[in-house]
Amino acid sequence: MTTQPDTQQPMVIARGLTKSFGQLQVLRGIDLQIMKAEVVSLMGASGAGKTTLLQILGTLDRPTSGSVIIDGVDTLALKNNQLAHFRNSKIGFVFQFHQLLPEFTALENVMLPALIGGTPKPQAEARAAELLDFLNLSHRADHKPSQLSGGEKQRTAIARSLVNNPAVVFADEPTGNLDSHNADELQSLFTSLRQRFGQTFVIVTHDARLAERCDRMILIKDGAVYAD
């Protein structure tokens, strides 16, 4: 069923984000707002702070100062168990190198976050199968990652990121390990997924073609928002 989100409401709000590693200041007061069902790219030169920002927005790291609100929740106020539950239920991740578990099939890899979140196995399997079908991977459901092409691995990783119907998906260089054909397909896929499932996507990328096809491009330079 296609989700119809209220796109006038913010999904991600960051205020005054700074991050320092010793004397090195990586983020220098980031302010940004991303709306529900928006597809936004974060671009900038290597070392600009994009991945650090993505990790903080995705609750994988904490800022030195500032605040992060996701779907109305102050993520920095959550304790460890609360944060783990919030991350599992509200956030999806897509990484450049897929991070699929080699001993499991594509279907099992997609199911894992749902099982971790307490979804009964029949429902988790049905949801995973639905996503693989939408991504044209039904015929590869019983194959392990070593038997999948690069594009198939990335689509499997995207299905996994969506299995718990998260509010927002964070993707770190999702086309960085793909050839041009698969990269082009992935660019179209993000738009299709937003239209079908209503997710918000925040994508760190060096791929100008992918960035330009997003609703909005945010440029990061020297740890600050340079242009939006």
- pLDDT tens digit string along 200-223? 999 988 888 888 888 999 999 888
| pLDDT per residue as tens digits for the range 45-72 | 887 888 899 999 999 999 999 999 999 9
103 pLDDT tier (thresholds 50, 70, 90): very high
Cα–Cα distances (Å) from 48 to 138, 159, 209, 220, in that order, read 39, 29, 19, 6
State the average pLDDT for the chain.
Answer: 88
145 pLDDT tier (thresholds 50, 70, 90): very high
The yes-or-no verdict on residue 81 having pLDDT over 60 is yes
The Cα–Cα gap between 79 and 114 comes to 21
The yes-or-no verdict on residue 197 having pLDDT over 90 is no
Determine, yes or no, domain membership for 142. Answer: yes
Q: What would the mean pLDDT of 114-129 be, rounded to a whole number? A: 94
Cα–Cα distances (Å) from 105 to 127, 154, 176, in that order, read 15, 14, 23
Sheet holding 73-74, edge to edge: 24-35, 10-21, 65-70, 73-74
Per the structure, the complete domain to which residue 90 belongs is given by 10-227
Determine, yes or no, domain membership for 149. Answer: yes
Highest mean predicted confidence (pLDDT) among 7-16, 131-140, 167-176: 131-140
For 70, the token pair is 């996701």
1 pLDDT tier (thresholds 50, 70, 90): very low
Determine, yes or no, domain membership for 1. Answer: no
Determine, yes or no, domain membership for 206. Answer: yes
> Whole-model pTM?
0.87
Contact 131, 153 (CB under 8 A): no
Q: What would the mean pLDDT of 15-43 be, rounded to a whole number? A: 92
What domain count does the chain have? Answer: 1
Question: CATH number, domain at 132?
Answer: 3.40.50.300
Determine, yes or no, domain membership for 95. Answer: yes
Determine, yes or no, domain membership for 87. Answer: yes
Determine, yes or no, domain membership for 2. Answer: no
70: left (phi over 0), alpha (psi -120 to 50) or beta: beta
Higher pLDDT, residue 208 or 8 = 208
